[in-house]
């Protein structure tokens, strides 16, 4: 069976492709999911893709990943900048974690420059548009071939 990679998306990312194309481009989250699934098949990864506007739901998916997933790709969206709870949940996950931001958060408001998640991530991909998810899956595929973090 292919190793499972859980791709998690935080609040408001369900609106992708509907507003603010200057930051987030024109792809919808359904397009991103389809791209991840296509690439997952190529890389031999079973993709589980989720989005929620609720912090607890993201935390529960991270907990569930402990039992069954080889890696996590996460765009925590605004929770990146606020959530110690998501950091704590990710700290309990033993496999590689790649943090993705579609926009270049470092070119934006100062409050977006700090991430609670980066300290636990194996890698961070910022400002590469929705292509960042593909980069993250390639990186996870490489990391799980080798001894973990
Ligand atoms: O650049 C990213 O991927 C972010 O994680 C996106 C978050 C933002 O709070 C982070 O600072 C950076 C916002 C996601 C909201 O996405 C929308 C997309 C289209 C329209 C409205 C919101």
Could you tell me the distance, in angstroms and rounded to a whole number, from the CA of residue 13 to the centre of ligand 1?
6
Average pLDDT over residues 99-117: 98
The burial class, CB within 10 Å (0-12 / 13-18 / 19+), for 28 is middle
Residue 29 in 3-state DSSP? helix
Residue 89 burial by CB count (10 A; 0-12/13-18/19+): exposed, middle or buried?
buried
Distance CA 122, CA 64 (A): 19
- Give alpha helix (H) positions in 15-122: 21-24, 29-43, 55-68, 84-91
Report residue 149's pLDDT band, with 50, 70 and 90 as the boundaries: very low
Q: Can you name the residues that pair with 73 across neighbouring β-strands?
A: 7, 98
The H-assigned helical ranges of the chain are: 21-24, 29-43, 55-68, 84-91, 131-144
Q: What angle do CA 95, 23, 140 make, to 5 degrees?
A: 15
Residue 145's Cβ-count burial label (10 Å; 0-12, 13-18, 19+) is exposed
The structure's pTM equals 0.96
Residue 146 reports pLDDT greater than 70: no
Grade residue 148 by pLDDT with cuts at 50, 70 and 90. Answer: very low
Establish whether residue 24 lines the binding site of ligand 1, counting it when its CB lies within 6 angstroms of any ligand atom.
Answer: yes
Q: 8: CA distance to ligand 1 center in Å?
A: 13
Task: Report the nearest-CA residue for atom 19 of ligand 1.
Answer: 16
Query: pLDDT (tens digit, 9 = 90+) per residue, 57-91?
Result: 999 999 999 999 999 999 999 999 999 999 999 99
Q: Give yes or no for residue 119 having a pLDDT over 70.
A: yes
pLDDT at residue 10 tops 60: yes
Distance (Å) from CA 12 to ligand 1 centroid:
7
């Amino acid at each position: 069976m292919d190793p499972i990679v859980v791709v998690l998306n935080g609040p408001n990312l369900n609106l992708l492709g509907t507003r603010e194309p200057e930051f987030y481009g024109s792809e919808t989250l359904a397009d991103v999911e389809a791209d991840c699934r296509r690439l997952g098949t190529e890389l031999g990864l079973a993709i589980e893709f989720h989005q929620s506007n609720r912090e607890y739901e993201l935390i529960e998916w991270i907990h569930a990943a402990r039992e069954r997933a080889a890696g996590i790709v996460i765009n925590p969206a605004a929770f990146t900048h606020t959530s110690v709870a998501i950091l704590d949940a990710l700290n309990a996950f033993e496999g590689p974690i790649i943090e993705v931001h579609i926009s270049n958060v470092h070119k934006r408001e100062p409050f977006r420059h700090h991430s609670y998640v980066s300290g636990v991530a194996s890698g961070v991909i910022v400002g590469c548009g929705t292509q960042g998810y593909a980069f993250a899956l390639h990186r996870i595929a490489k990391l799980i071939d080798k001894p973990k973090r």
